[in-house]
Amino acid sequence: MTAQQLKNSILQMAVQGKLVPQDPNDEPASVLLERIKAEKEALIKSGRIKKSKKSSEIFRGASRTLPYAFCEQIDKEIRDISDEIPFEIPESWEWVRLGSIVYSRGQMKPTSDFCYVDIGSIDNKNQKLGNTENIIIPDKAPSRARKIIDIGDIIYSTVRPYLHNMCIIDKQFSLQPIASTGFATMTCYSGIFNKYLFYYLLAPDFDNYANDTENSKGVAYPAINDDRLYKALIPVAPLAEQKRIVAKIEELLPYIEKYEQAETKLTALNKSFLEMLKKSILQEAVQGKLVPQNPDDEPASVLLERIRTEKQELIKQGKIKKSKHESIIVTRDKIPYEIIDGKERCIADEVPFEIPESWCWCRLGTIASVLGGKRIPAGRKLSLEKTEHVYIRVSDMKDDTVSLDNLQYVPNDIYSSISRYIINKEDVYITVAGTIGRIGKIPKELDGANLTENADRLVIRIINQDWLIRFLKSNLIQNQIAEATTKVGQPKLAILRIQKLLIPLPPIAEQKRIVEKIEELMPIINSISK
């Protein structure tokens, strides 16, 4: 149970008369309501409030020998409202409409400086009014600054009520306070403890009423009007019990807050733990510890020779260019050496850990060609209108793939200038500017799409595409990417530096087993967080 669920449960118990015991010595709510009637009549007579056109009285049917559990009388009409009653309440309690136990102080157009209370004045997490007074002169008064309020009043935002922009006015203002018409303002009659009513307005039962689609209209900004709000059913406890309920709630709230703090810490810990667990799995994978080695696998050294042979053939065919500084990494007595242009140097300081005998260290440029993307010509813009040529931006690269939402297109008349800079579904992308180090593959729907200049394509040879993506996302490679990124001006990851990324290469069969194991484990980890 979350802290919010616990709070909701306590509030719901409170409004159903289950949080504190009833006291038979308490003056029943029915007597309290009679006093409110008298108070209301006095306020009407003094002109402070207007007489309601349709005054509501709710009573138990048995009290008037009627065959209904609950009835409502408006003027002379009596109707059965048993189906509206959401739950049972103690015998000493009564049901009323909200409009029967509160009134509004009315509205005024400011004629002098005033303190304005709008929706933004409220801390909706704690339902408290901010400390800063928003003092406004009449000429600058917003058109919504109309509702008169005073200390002790409840203000309830009727716009997006689910956000709980509500509070009790608990301080004196330096000037006349005026609230926005976006609030329903409630002054409680003397028999209603304002905090009791306030907690009911926070309870799930009232929340459901206020946010019901029948009551709260609108799509972008759903709102409930005052009339609908004041028609809400309210369970009224004896005044003495109202105070006991509030005292118990406020006794429990600090414990809920501590529970919430602990919950927040636990959630953060769980999240960080799961992220660390994912990283740990990737680290085990890149070190050859995630799946067992199979002595029957073709070793990575043979795989590298096949890649080099294929490369030479492509160079002969003119399909790729020969690398100026081809890297070969060999191991002697467990010490790695790199040979470039016939010169050999020890790279033991670059190698962070030992790998299995069947694996090899290599540079990324050995197993993949790194090719850049292309920006569209200066002065031209991408089009939202669909053409045959999708242009993949960094913002489209999400969750190891490319989102098909909000794609943009290359206008046909400029396509020829960037037509060579595409990426295929067999390739792997890596972002090199803006957000650097995102890795992923291209959906089949975008095979052959144009690639942004802020990303490069890795044209891979023989190796497993999914394995490479996962290895490139590991801390081992991401740390290398961070170190290789230029820090002067706009951060950028150069092609040459991508080619030099140091990769632990498993046999091709083990690559497949590693991917299968990761795909088996990741859903399990993700399910833990739910």
Enumerate the H helices of 144-287 as residue ranges: 194-202, 204-211, 226-230, 239-286
pLDDT at 219: 56
Encode pLDDT of 313-335 as tens digits. Answer: 888 888 777 777 889 999 888 89
Whole-prediction pTM: 0.61
pLDDT at 67: 77
CATH class of 300-528: alpha beta
pLDDT-derived band at 220 (thresholds 50, 70, 90) equals low
Q: What's the rounded mean pLDDT across residues 181-202?
A: 94
HSE of 337, CA atoms in CB hemisphere, 13 A: 9
Query: Can you give the residue ranges of every domain in the chain?
Result: 3-259, 300-528
Residue of 480 and 268 predicted with greater confidence = 480
Distance CA 464, CA 514 (A): 10
Distance CA 297, CA 305 (A): 15
Is the pLDDT at 494 greater than 70? The verdict is yes
pLDDT-derived band at 1 (thresholds 50, 70, 90) equals confident
pLDDT at 338: 94
Average pLDDT over the chain, rounded to an integer: 91
Is the pLDDT at 242 greater than 60? The verdict is yes
HSE of 219, CA atoms in CB hemisphere, 13 A: 0
Same fold, 3-259 and 300-528: yes
Polymer length of the chain: 530
pLDDT at 530: 58
pLDDT at 476: 93
Encode pLDDT of 31-90 as tens digits. Answer: 999 999 999 999 888 888 888 777 888 988 877 777 788 888 888 888 898 999 999 999
Question: Phi and psi for 372 in degrees, rounded to 5?
Answer: -90, 165
Encode pLDDT of 369-400 as tens digits. Answer: 999 999 999 999 999 999 999 999 999 999 99
**Architecture of domain 3-259 in this structure:** Alpha-Beta Complex (3.90)
Distances (CA, A) of 268 to 153, 157, 255, 261: 38, 32, 20, 11
437: helix, strand or coil: coil
239-286 and 3-15 helices, crossing angle to 10°: 160
